[in-house]
Amino acid sequence: MLETIEQTRTGGRPHEDLREFLERIDEAGELLRVDGAHWDLEMGAFAEIVNHKRPEAPAILFDNVPGYPTGHRVFSGGFNSSKRLALTLGFPEPKHLLDLVRNYRDRMKVHRPIPPRIVSGGPILENVDRGDAIDLLKFPVPRLHEEDGGRYIGTNDLVIMRDPDDGWINAATYRVQVHGKDSAGLWISPGKDGRLIRDAYFAKGLPCPVLVSCGHDPLLFLVGCHHVHKGLSEYDYAGGHRGSPIDVVLSEVHGLPMPAGAEIVIEGEMHPGDVKMEGPFGEFTGYYASDKGEKPVIRVQRVYYRNDPILNIATPMRPPSDYMFGKCAVDAGMIWDEVEAAGLSGVQGVWCHEVGCSKMFNVISIKQSHAGHAKQAAMLAANCSAGSYLGRFVIVVDEDVDPTDLFDVMWAVCTRCDPVDDIDFVRHGWSTPLDPMIPRGASAYWNSRAIVDACRPFDRLKDFPPVARATPELLAKVQAKFTDILAKV
């Protein structure tokens, strides 16, 4: 099976760590180097300017941060373009966004989890701080937004926990705020596996051991952001994408697995009842939606880091952000897989739009074969595991509409959807405190979803007005004749 996975990769062997990944994207012209940006607000504002300037913005490497040693760097935007996402996953460079989704789905047909390999050493052990030597702010931890409650070391992170009952390892992305030299606050949304694991320890009256990796292969962040089935470790899932195991080193205090090639890893534990005010924080929906509140504290016992460490960050903001693109592609692939596994035929493409933060505006394109086909597609896309969290709008379109093209999609909504007959609603869907529509102080987190049928009515497929557009053959002929002139347009 390893050989089968390797056959789906391009560009040779996978990169070993973040540093090799940086070399590769630099060679590909995908890295922007920035000297002199301050940790206090300037990094966040710079990332916002770059990512709002154009689609698929470059990755950013902040160097020579004022007040910090040369070599202490901060990196954002690992997989936020078609080319970088392809490099992250070992795909060929795509010609269209749906190529990424199709390549992901092809990968999943042969994907098998590969458990991590425990090794005795690695670059992460170049420096180990204990006791009074621990100081989280020895790294250029940013304050990203003006209204943030503090500096966040965990945004593009991997929070690693072991289930107290069956021992499986969860490695997912949750936000981590620095409180002091040796303490940090951890916020996890209700229903997420990390929160269930933490609560299981607390229910037994036990402290919850935890690692926070803050610089690693972007593949681990990509996997940590997504829906991996409960009981399946993100390490195993990522290893399946690499075609080889992730090398891990066991931590000194709790024996938790940390990436051997990571840049910075924090080890500590959370104790029942030990809380401190955390937040607010500008989140991925583009709002300060969750209240400042008391959250469990990580009491730091070790800090592991490489020489000249690189801190990974993500900058949640009003979209587009510096990490949302990769989530859109992978979420789309997962939804496509789930709806087909449920028996839906005729799917032509799925895309989760950045304007909806990869969750709230999802489009599925189908070739209709029977009455009710469009409604079936929309309901499945809205309620499958990958599409259910924080859903808002699901739009189903015909095969002649590009689901990745927002203009094309909205044209279909405007011309093929009757608001009274073709929009349905689902109530009490799974939401989160980060949803800006959830009232402050709510005791339950649910929302409603709009199911929009923007397909031509099935009983009018033959007599629905034809689209006013040139045939592909005519377009190609004119393109060839006027190539030089069109190149200037």
Instruction: Tell me if 432 sits within 8 A of 394, measured CB to CB.
Output: no
Residue 40's domain is classified under what CATH number? 2.30.110.10
For residue 270, the SS3 value is strand
pLDDT of 1 reads 40
pLDDT surpasses 50 at 3: no
- The percent of residues above 90 in pLDDT, for the chain, comes to 86
User: In which element (H, E) is residue 365 found?
Assistant: strand 361-366
Domain range holding 384? 324-460
Q: Is residue 43 part of a domain?
A: yes
CA 489 to chain centre: 35
Note whether 87 and 234 are same-domain residues.
Answer: yes
Note whether 170 and 140 are same-domain residues.
Answer: yes
343: number of Cβ within 10 Å = 8
pLDDT of 6 reads 55
User: In which element (H, E) is residue 25 found?
Assistant: helix 18-27
* CA proximity to 114, closest of 259, 257, 233, 261: 233
Instruction: Tell me if 269 sits within 8 A of 208, measured CB to CB.
Output: yes
Note whether 234 and 330 are same-domain residues.
Answer: no
Q: Per-residue pLDDT tens for 271-322?
A: 999 999 999 999 989 998 777 899 999 999 999 999 999 999 999 999 999 9
The amino acid sitting at 330 is V
Q: Per-residue pLDDT tens for 63-87?
A: 999 999 999 999 999 999 999 999 9
Q: Is residue 216 classed exposed, middle or buried when 0-12, 13-18 and 19+ CB atoms within 10 A define those classes?
A: buried
* CA proximity to 223, closest of 158, 281, 299, 140: 158
Note whether 259 and 404 are same-domain residues.
Answer: no
Q: Is residue 476 part of a domain?
A: no
Note whether 28 and 140 are same-domain residues.
Answer: yes
Note whether 344 and 306 are same-domain residues.
Answer: no
Note whether 142 and 192 are same-domain residues.
Answer: yes
Instruction: Tell me if 82 sits within 8 A of 94, measured CB to CB.
Output: yes
Q: Is residue 40 part of a domain?
A: yes
Q: Is residue 478 part of a domain?
A: no
Q: Token digits for 405?
A: 């093209």
The amino acid sitting at 348 is Q
pTM: 0.90
* Residue whose entry in the numeric block shows the structure tokens 């929906």: 285
Separation between Cα atoms, residue 364 and residue 447, nearest integer Å: 21
Separation between Cα atoms, residue 338 and residue 335, nearest integer Å: 5
- Looking at residues 143-165, what average pLDDT do you find? 96
pLDDT surpasses 90 at 2: no
Note whether 260 and 183 are same-domain residues.
Answer: yes
Q: What is the dihedral of CA 239, 10, 2, 323, to 10 degrees?
A: 20
Q: Is residue 188 part of a domain?
A: yes
For residue 228, the SS3 value is coil
Q: Is residue 338 part of a domain?
A: yes
Instruction: Tell me if 264 sits within 8 A of 304, measured CB to CB.
Output: yes
**At a CB cut-off of 8 Å and minimum separation 6, what does 284 contact?**
316, 321, 324, 357, 434
- Looking at residues 361-390, what average pLDDT do you find? 95
Residue 350's domain is classified under what CATH number? 3.40.1670.10
Q: What is the mean pLDDT of the chain?
A: 94
pLDDT surpasses 90 at 35: yes
In this structure, what are the phi and psi dihedrals at residue 471, rounded to the nearest 5 degrees?
-70, 155
Q: Token digits for 109?
A: 């047909």
CA 302 to chain centre: 27
Backbone conformation region of residue 362, classed left if phi is above 0, alpha if psi is from -120 to 50, else beta: beta
Q: What string of DSSP letters covers 302-334? A: EEEE-SS-EEE-----SSS-SSHHHHHHHHHHH
Note whether 306 and 398 are same-domain residues.
Answer: no
405: number of Cβ within 10 Å = 15
Which residue, 312, 339, 358, sits at the end of a domain?
312
pLDDT of 250 reads 98
Note whether 370 and 231 are same-domain residues.
Answer: no
pLDDT of 448 reads 93
Please state whether the peptide bond connecting residue 280 to the residue before it is cis, i.e. omega within 30 degrees of 0: yes
pLDDT of 444 reads 82
Separation between Cα atoms, residue 351 and residue 362, nearest integer Å: 6
pLDDT surpasses 60 at 8: no
* Angle subtended by helix axes 82-89 and 97-110, to nearest 10: 10
E strands, 193-329, in order: 208-213, 247-250, 257-259, 264-270, 275-278, 293-305, 310-312
Q: Is residue 484 part of a domain?
A: no
Note whether 268 and 384 are same-domain residues.
Answer: no
Query: How many domains does the chain contain in total?
Result: 2
Separation between Cα atoms, residue 207 and residue 316, nearest integer Å: 30
- Looking at residues 400-405, what average pLDDT do you find? 97
The amino acid sitting at 431 is S
Q: Per-residue pLDDT tens for 452-482?
A: 999 999 999 999 999 999 999 999 999 999 9
Note whether 345 and 292 are same-domain residues.
Answer: no
Q: Is residue 467 part of a domain?
A: no
